[in-house]
Structure 1
Amino acid sequence: MLRGSALPSTKALRTFVVVANSLSFSKAAKELSVTQGAVSKQIASLEQQLGQTLFERHLNGIVLTIAGEQYLPHIIEALEQVQRATAELAQSEQKEETLSLNVTPSFASLWLVGALDDFCQKHTNLSISIRTGDGPLRTVNSDDDIVIRCLPIAQHYKNAHLLRSESLRLVGSSTLLTQKPITVINDLKQHDFLSHVTRPQLWEQFKSSEQIQHTLNFYGVGFEHFFMSLEAVRAHAGLALLPDFMVDGLVERQQLKNPLNLELTSGYGYYAIIPSYKLNSRLVYLFQRWLKEQLQ
């Protein structure tokens, strides 16, 4: 039982975690930049306060006791919560406003993260929080300021603003397309194609738009997200259809090739969906305007 009303110090708890991870007083002392005696003193004081032995001391080293094994994960979690809360508070003091975004994984990783510096340079004293989501959006009742989804082009989405229609480039790695060049449409026969498991119709649309008669050969793995397909393209696995604004920079740098300048207008578009009660937010307005400018 915990003796007295005082809780263990964070210094003692931090020392306990480091010792438990290294199972060595000397290694823990080196990591904490203190003496081995100071580490031993912290652990002994903590054990005395808890009324429990946390480590078994042996000639060849130390091991956690059953009590120590039970205590460790709770302390790690508690220290992480304290660290996270402290960081969030420190950041909130430095920023005047916070914008919360919920975007598709590929939109985030292949475009938004790289583009955001432009917005942040123009609008200082703000904090942006990004998390990812995907799939159909049945409701906009969330804590997010702006939700970005790729959806079939339509007029019925509530509080949705079309940012950009989706145009997909046919791309392959420069290495692959040097080894197996495509100079005419019939050369596609020698390549494997990367399927998009949530939108399997894309390749049929592509065949129809390019009037391709032969059967396409598909790579043995399908991918849920464009960023996964891009990694497979980089690994020379085959050809993929990827959004133009996500890959045009790679094509310009000749990391990827767009053979015959083939592309597909998919019938989808990228929408910014904003809850009605946040439509009057100054920061939401500024960010939505910036998105439209960048994605035109």
Structure 2
Amino acid sequence: MSSSSGLPSIKALKTFVAVAHNLSFSKAAQELSVTQGAVSKQVAALEQQLGQALFERHIDGIRLTSIGEQYLPSIIEALESVQSATARLKQSENNEAVLNLDVTPSFASLWLINALQDFRSQNASIRINLKTGDGLTKGLNARSDIIIRCLPIATHYENANLLHKETLRLVGSPDLVEHHPIRCHQDLEVHQFIPHITRPQLWEKFRNQFCPDTPMNFHGVGFEHFFMSLEAVKANCGLALLPDFMVDPLIEAKQLNNPLALSLVSQYGYYAITPNHRRDNKQVYLFNQWLQDQFRC
């Protein structure tokens, strides 16, 4: 290695990556909109600074040396990190408030993404970063301002507001229910039930409440999340139990059928959890108030 303590320039590293991808100085020059001489000069200067040859020059072209092959992945990753950090900074310009949400996948995909249009129409200055998660809330990323989870109904959750007690609708596709009509509870036995692998007790509770004497045949594939079960319903795989606020619009639009208007109260609820150090943030307060209003309607 060269004894120089300076780091290579971004321009030199980007030139190295372009040449490595194209294995051609001329093609790299076209990609970077510079002359071939400028590309050769940047690569030569980088090799001199590193004290190592990055490319082998041959009559029929060039190829990476073993050192170049080792160097390339790290440089690509580093440049992507710089680009990502720069993009985040630009997106946060004008002191725009940022709200970081961590919510369950089905809550996000089947309700929140569409509902956020209403919040954004009232709070255009707040930028939202939405990611999904599930399970326990302890030890979550400290950047999360609000965490939404489906949990057993209880009063001991710290800094948690109950948004909605979970009611599950029995749903099937219109085609499936039309082909095998459900006019009474006994008609359910000709259908398959789609298992929910994280809460298998739901179907047992449903059976005990509505059809204790009716055999239940289960679909051969179980799903972790409600949004996955919904896709299975749409594919005519069977009947599923899905949260009311996620599927009621689809039932009203006749894209789903709710046989016999059957619903099950699950004893679970959707909670919005705000870490102590985030509770005084204006954007957190506004979003929590908006959430409460949405589920109060």
Shorter-chain TM-score tier: 0.7 to 0.9
Where 1:151 maps in the other structure, the secondary structure is strand
Paired with 2:132 and 2:276, the residues of 1 have a C-alpha distance of 21
Amino acid at match of 2:192: D
TM-superposition CA deviations, 1:206-235 (whole Å, max 9, x none): 112223422211122222211222232233
Q: How many Å apart are 1:176 and its aligned residue?
A: 3.2
What residue in structure 2 maps to residue 21 of structure 1? 21
What residue in structure 2 maps to residue 4 of structure 1? 4
Note if contact 1:52-1:67 (Cα within 8 Å) is conserved in structure 2: yes
Amino acid at match of 1:75: I
Q: How many Å apart are 1:65 and its aligned residue?
A: 1.6
TM-superposition CA deviations, 1:126-163 (whole Å, max 9, x none): 22222322113457894422221111112222221110
Q: How many Å apart are 1:26 and its aligned residue?
A: 5.0
Structure 2 matches for 1:1-296, cutoff 5 A?
A: 1-2=1-2, 4-25=4-25, 27-34=27-34, 36=36, 38-58=38-58, 61-138=61-138, 142-296=142-296
Note if contact 1:140-1:275 (Cα within 8 Å) is conserved in structure 2: no
Note if contact 1:56-1:64 (Cα within 8 Å) is conserved in structure 2: yes
Paired with 2:164 and 2:142, the residues of 1 have a C-alpha distance of 23
Amino acid at match of 2:196: H
Where 1:85 maps in the other structure, the secondary structure is helix
Where 2:162 maps in the other structure, the secondary structure is strand
TM-superposition CA deviations, 1:26-76 (whole Å, max 9, x none): 554454444555544433343333232223344555432211111111111
Where 2:245 maps in the other structure, the secondary structure is helix
Q: TM-score, normalised on structure 1?
A: 0.88
Count how many residue pairs are aligned between Structure 1 and Structure 2.
296
Would the alpha carbon gap of residues 47 and 274 (structure 1) be closer, same or farther in structure 2, given more than 3 Å must change? same
Would the alpha carbon gap of residues 178 and 43 (structure 1) be closer, same or farther in structure 2, given more than 3 Å must change? farther
TM-superposition CA deviations, 1:230-264 (whole Å, max 9, x none): 23223332221111222223333443332332221
Note if contact 1:95-1:125 (Cα within 8 Å) is conserved in structure 2: no
Note if contact 2:194-2:218 (Cα within 8 Å) is conserved in structure 1: yes
Amino acid at match of 2:241: L
Structure 1 gap ranges (5+): none
Amino acid at match of 1:133: G
Where 1:154 maps in the other structure, the secondary structure is coil
Paired with 2:32 and 2:289, the residues of 1 have a C-alpha distance of 48
Paired with 1:11 and 1:67, the residues of 2 have a C-alpha distance of 20
Would the alpha carbon gap of residues 160 and 32 (structure 1) be closer, same or farther in structure 2, given more than 3 Å must change? same
Structure 1 runs (4+) greater than 6 angstroms displaced: none
Q: TM-score, normalised on structure 2?
A: 0.87
Paired with 2:186 and 2:36, the residues of 1 have a C-alpha distance of 72
Would the alpha carbon gap of residues 154 and 9 (structure 1) be closer, same or farther in structure 2, given more than 3 Å must change? same
Where 2:268 maps in the other structure, the secondary structure is strand
Would the alpha carbon gap of residues 264 and 67 (structure 1) be closer, same or farther in structure 2, given more than 3 Å must change? same
